[in-house]
Structure 1
């Protein structure tokens, strides 16, 4: 007997055979990035819990409806477009938010970022589409409420890293990496994360030994890297990336001394200095960057792992590299997003900024 589909998978027409229903679900899973599927699951849990808690104070059923009622969708928008830290303690929205915080589904009583609300609404709409239903978020009043809420909560987005890790900063970090196995690993990780286009933490720690080709290292000092997927590309559609020169030598040295033949590329290291089979998680990249910044004399909070990404693009702009060439490695899908790093550099170097002397 087949298992019922997960709630974030599409509802299949009853006329389809069991084999065809399974094929449709398999197609959907294979065609949707894993991060998106996980986001659907998290958002579904959040929305379900919010409604069950909110229903005690409002005149609607505690379980989700398909299609959902417009008044429920509107109340969701209203509850998530205002800060609740100054709301009366008996405010229903505040009580629900506190319950969600207790269950680790919400971080604080502050107004959620518009992007967070947009993502949850997008997931809710997607769940309706999977059931071949029109969502209440298409109603004019609710569309307008979302627009007004987004404008009311608008503020300049905080940078993901306080400072970019430019070449100068990176060199200071590399100076702290000694000849121990840990130092060799950290040097290779930092250089790969920066020189291959500014990789995200999950992309660095998701690499396997099989994703790295050393065939051209001896003849050309090149190492080719194949990301399985990234935030902006689907599985199997990510182009190969290249490491050259010092970065390629650092990675080759790590693979050689750690004797990595398969499995995770970057591994945990035991207290005795041995490479363990367990590969690093994304949080380990944060700890490595933080540790190396401290050893290099930078203040706490100077930069985060995203500084490898912003630093790569900032340095590319400083060196005059065409933005298209930088994006070829960074895998930015949006020209406007990558252009922000170039604009900051261009403004500083603009001769018009020196008119007063």
Structure 2
């Protein structure tokens, strides 16, 4: 076999490019792939609106700089004839942008990260690595900095959870919602993606009859892979609620939590993250609480907040929550009112 000349060795063939793209797809979490897809749609629409053509590979530095400038200011203050405002209005009409207001810095960061990832997939240099573009992004981030908003207005602590569980009526829908709420809270405060990704095969009930235990193998989390995620456990009422759902829905394999049809039958596909969101909101409303009081993340923050209220050591709670950062988990403990902190009762 004749070796390729050095110039050819540094260039990817079409087959190499396809193989590299396939490798990225197979090695990237599904949620990230969906975010990439949404961002590519937005980037393509923005570039066609502003420059009249699809993205180029590699992209020009001037295009990257313009993207930052168009997303680092309130475009409502511009004259209606300004191209940046006209492009934004076109994106609003297309349903790709909500308003002329300056997007959140995190939104811009994510889209830039996606654009850079597309370049990496093609083994190309990213224009966002250019010194001028990097400096503009840093300045834009500082200029648009906002106080960090909580993912859930209020943590769903034990008393609030009990109010929501009380609304879970007899029947398949109530049985499912009860199982989801208890699982999402008692297993350590699970994220929506972790709940929706579970399959029946991930649940081990060998010790349920003897000890009322259900062992759970999460497929993956934000901080771990399937190979590194430890087993988690449900016990008592939460384990019984999970088994009640499995039995009622006759789930032998496939997705664990599923939508329920209008006729009252569980569907074969898994429930979505939006489905979890709607369950939490509906149960809040049925409990006589404001819908905006909490979101699904309130199950996660509520578990850690309740652990702090009950005096559970943070390292013990983190073994279930699987937080990678002690500082991040500590924030929930810091939010507990001092007068409820058990350390204030050391002499009582």
Output the TM-score relative to the length of structure 1: 0.85
Secondary structure at 1:243's aligned position in 2? strand
Change over 3 Å in CA distance of 1:331–1:132 after alignment to 2: same
1:193-232 to 2 correspondence within 5 Å?
A: 193-232=184-223
| Structure 2 residue 50 is matched with structure 1 residue 54 | yes
More deviation in 344-353 or 41-50?
344-353
Q: Is residue 2:39 matched to residue 1:33?
A: no
Query: Which of 243, 247, 259 matches 1:252?
Result: 243
Q: 1:23 to 1:264 in 2, by over 3 A?
A: same
> 1:69 and 2:65 equivalent?
no
Deviations 1:146-193 (A, max 9, x none): 111111111112222111100110011111223322222211111001
Deviations 1:273-320 (A, max 9, x none): 443434322222222211211221112311111111111111122122
Give the corresponding residue for 2:154: 163
Map 1:18-167 → 2, pairs under 5 A = 18=15, 24-55=20-51, 62-167=53-158
Out of 90-99 and 279-288, give the one that drifted further: 279-288
Structure 2 segments unaligned to the other structure (5+ residues):
1-8
Query: Structure 1 residue 95: deviation in Å?
Result: 0.8
Equivalent pairs counted in the alignment come to 336
* Residue 145 (structure 1) shift: 1.3
| Runs (5+) with no aligned partner, structure 1 | 1-11, 57-61
- Cα distance, 1:226–1:77 mapped onto 2, change above 3 Å: same
Q: 1:95 to 1:249 in 2, by over 3 A?
A: same
Q: Does 1:289 align with 2:285?
A: no
State the superposition RMSD in angstroms. 2.6
2:306 to 306, 315, 329: 315
Partner SS, residue 233 of structure 2? strand
Residues 209 and 264 of structure 1 are in contact (CA less than 8 Å); yes or no, is this contact kept in structure 2? Answer: yes
Q: Deviations over 1:240-272 (max 9, x none)?
A: 221111100111112122222122222333455
Q: Tell me by how many angstroms 1:347 deviates.
A: 5.1
- Asked if the contact 2:119/2:125 (under 8 Å) is kept, the reply is yes
- 1:347 and 1:78, CA in 2 relative to 1: closer, same or farther beyond 3 A? farther
- Correspondent of 1:186 among 173, 177, 180: 177
Change (3 A) 1:94 1:352: farther
**2:5 match:** none
Residues 309, 342 of structure 2: 8 Å contact kept: no
Distance 1:198 1:218, change over 3 A: same
Contact 2:277 2:295 in 1 (8 A): yes
Secondary structure (helix, strand or coil) at the match of 1:279 reads coil
Aligned to 2:230: 239
* Aligned equivalents of 2:339, 2:331: Cα separation in 1: 13
**Contact 2:309–2:340 (Cα < 8 Å) also in 1:** no
Whether the aligned pair in 2 keeps the contact of 1:203 and 1:230 (CA below 8 Å) is yes
Shift of the 51–25 alpha-carbon distance from structure 1 to 2, 3 Å rule, reads: closer
> Given that residues 208 and 264 in structure 1 are in contact (C-alpha distance below 8 angstroms), is that contact kept between their aligned partners in structure 2?
yes
Contact 2:309 2:341 in 1 (8 A): no
